[in-house]
A = this chain, B = another copy of it.
Amino acid sequence: MFFRTNHLQFDAKPERPDPVFAKMLQEPLGGQWGEISVMMTYLFQGWNCRGPAKYKDMIMDIGTEEIAHVEMLATMIARLLETSPVETQEDAAKNSAVAAVLGGARVEDAILAGMNPQHAIVSGSGAMPSDSVGYPWNAKYTIASGNLLADFRFNVTAESQGRLQVSRLFNLTEDPGVKKMLAYMIARDTMHQNQWLAAIQELEADGLEETPCPSNFPQSMEDQRVSYQFWNCSGGTESAEGRWASGTTPDGKGQFEYLAEPKPMTDDMGMLGQVDPRLYGTPAMPVPKDAKK
């Protein structure tokens, strides 16, 4: 079970409100590659883990840490939305767009400047579990397959896409308080990329998983004629130049073969048979109307 301390993991204080950036910062909170996604992904991977205890414990460590990242972002967004209608009303009247960006604008001006209207109408200046265009987070972003190699590869991806998005956002704000928190999160993503890459090495060292994943499916049962063939299905020939076109394969088990002009391996043209006429699909020949029911 879980407990919470009163303190955030790290500072989440913007220098001033910025409702438009608050909208953008929803992406790493409630977007596909945001903190809710990694929190839920790691927690479910941990709860479902049937592998050795060190993996389960490690996964739960990071899953629990991610709840704190959700917390930091939610807090930051709520603070970026603290528009103060009174003090800056005059400035806002002059140039609403600029005022909104600088913070301190009236809500109505901020919406015109690009604020998410649901931050006013729905959440009342609070963070929402949705992304930068207002699309709600959904559980398809949670990946937990029971196979740790497949899942750790996803986790490396998630930390890569996440770090990429936060790095982009780092460049789209000038607020030192926001930048400070983002720099912290980028550093944690550096750690977590390394952590999952290390975990993959550990899985292999423990003899539990290897490429191709899942490694316990016997390769003798796959159609080995095509296990290491590159099929050149588009017009260009540049694809012959890469590491993927020749040489030993990364799993160490084969040699890449380049098919410059691939052909279908069957004479099956996908023609279908007829089915139950009571479903009223269009058949190959007209059906007598009195033949039914």
Q: Assess the B146–A125 pair: CB atoms within 8 A.
A: yes
Contact check, A272 vs B82: say whether CB atoms are below 8 A apart: yes
- Contact size class for A? 35 or more
A48 lies within 8 A of B5 (CB): no
Q: A227 with B276: in contact, given A133-B118, A284-B52 (CB under 8 Å)?
A: no
In angstroms, Cα B100 to Cα A182, docked, is 26
When the two chains form their complex, are residues B54 and A241 in contact, meaning their CB atoms are under 8 A apart? Answer: yes
Min Cβ gap A65→B in Å is 5
Assess the B49–A164 pair: CB atoms within 8 A: no
Q: For chain A residues 253-280, which have a beta carbon within 8 Å of chain B?
A: 254, 256, 262, 264-280
Contact B139 A57 (CB under 8 A): no
Cα A289 to Cα B284 in complex, Å, equals 43
Look across to chain B and name the residue whose beta carbon is closest to the beta carbon of A225. B187
Taking A112-B101, A124-B145, A211-B197 as contacts, is the C-beta distance between A8 and B289 under 8 angstroms?
no
Give 26 pairs: A residue, B residue, CB < 8 Å, sorted on A: A6-B234, A8-B269, A9-B264, A47-B75, A48-B125, A48-B126, A52-B285, A56-B271, A58-B242, A101-B112, A107-B279, A116-B133, A128-B144, A133-B134, A134-B135, A138-B139, A147-B160, A147-B164, A150-B161, A194-B244, A194-B254, A194-B256, A195-B230, A197-B250, A218-B290, A218-B293
Closest 3 CB pairs between A and B? A124-B146, A48-B126, A133-B134
